[in-house]
Structures are given as C-alpha cells and as structure tokens.
C-alpha cells in the first residue's frame, strides 16, 4: 500500500496491509503534526501534491528499502491537505521476519521521506507568519 490521501489515515488498515504469515513482526511509524517548529507555535500544516508525483516518490522509497533489507512488505500513506496539530501526516508499516531489519527499514523510510519531502508543505504559525517548503527530488 502506497498512497497519497486527503482523508484521515486509517492506521489499522495500513498496518494490516503488510500483515502476512511469513512475518514475525510489524514495525510502524506514525508521524504527527506537532505544536511547534523553529521556536514558533504551529496552527496548521498544509501538504500539497500539485504535480501528482508524490506517490511515485513514496513507491521509490518502498522499492529501495526492499532492495536493502529482507522485508516482506512495506506500506507508506501520506496525508495531504490542511492538517491541524495532533493530526497524523504519515504512516509507515514494515513487516519482516526479524525485528532488526524491520526497524532499520522503517528508519530508512522515514529518513528518506523527510530528506526528500514528496509534497509541498506550508506551516502556519500563531503569529500569522508562514513557512513554505517545496518538494525535493
């Protein structure tokens, strides 16, 4: 499961999408919108995928992780649109035979996600200021 969505991410569905009998465990990461950034209070964060390429970028993260570790499956779901503090913005789930590979692959996926942000991002702060990020990669 690799998906860009405007809807609330169904965490249990993402986790269950990687569940299989060959796996000894599922490692997950749930990203949240926090209430602060750069010493400012956050009101909201808006993610966008204007050119429709974000899902391709997420798929490349999954494919790369599968080449590096013997994982059984990986799912990444990223929410776009205007999100408020406390909302989930990304869910990653990895199923694997052994926990070490699962933790490593999950860490790799979120690091690649953050370093090559697949969508535009606009943070809005309580003082009315904003900060825009453009997609990388």
Q: For residue range 2-18, what is the model confidence (pLDDT) as tens digits?
A: 999 999 999 999 999 99
| pLDDT reported for residue 136 | 65
- pLDDT confidence tier of residue 77, bands split at 50, 70 and 90: very high
Give 3-state DSSP helix, strand, coil % of the chain, rounded to 5. Answer: 30, 40, 30
pLDDT class for 88, splitting at 50, 70, 90? very high
Please state whether the predicted TM-score (pTM) of the whole model is above 0.75. yes
69's tokens = 């570790």
Spatial separation of the C-alpha atoms in residues 42 and 35, rounded to whole Å: 5
| Other residues' Cβ atoms within 10 Å of the Cβ of residue 16 | 13
pLDDT tens track for 14-73: 999 999 999 999 999 999 999 999 899 999 999 999 888 899 999 999 999 999 999 999
**Cα(133)–Cα(66) distance, integer angstroms:** 28
Choose between 103 and 116: higher pLDDT: 103
- Domains along the chain? 2-130 (3.90.1170.40)
């Amino acid at each position: 499961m690799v998906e860009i969505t405007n809807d609330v991410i169904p965490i249990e569905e993402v986790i269950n999408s990687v569940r299989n009998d060959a796996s000894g465990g599922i490692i997950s990461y749930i990203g949240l919108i926090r209430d602060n950034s750069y010493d400012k209070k956050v009101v909201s964060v808006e993610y966008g995928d204007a050119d429709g390429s974000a899902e391709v970028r997420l798929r490349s993260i999954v494919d790369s992780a599968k080449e590096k570790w013997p994982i059984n499956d990986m799912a990444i779901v990223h929410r776009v649109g205007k999100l408020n503090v406390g909302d989930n913005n990304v869910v990653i789930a990895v199923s694997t035979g052994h926990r070490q590979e699962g933790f490593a692959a999950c860490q790799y996926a979120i690091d690649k996600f953050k370093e090559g942000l697949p969508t535009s991002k606009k943070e809005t702060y309580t003082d009315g200021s904003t900060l825009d990020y453009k997609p990388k990669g």
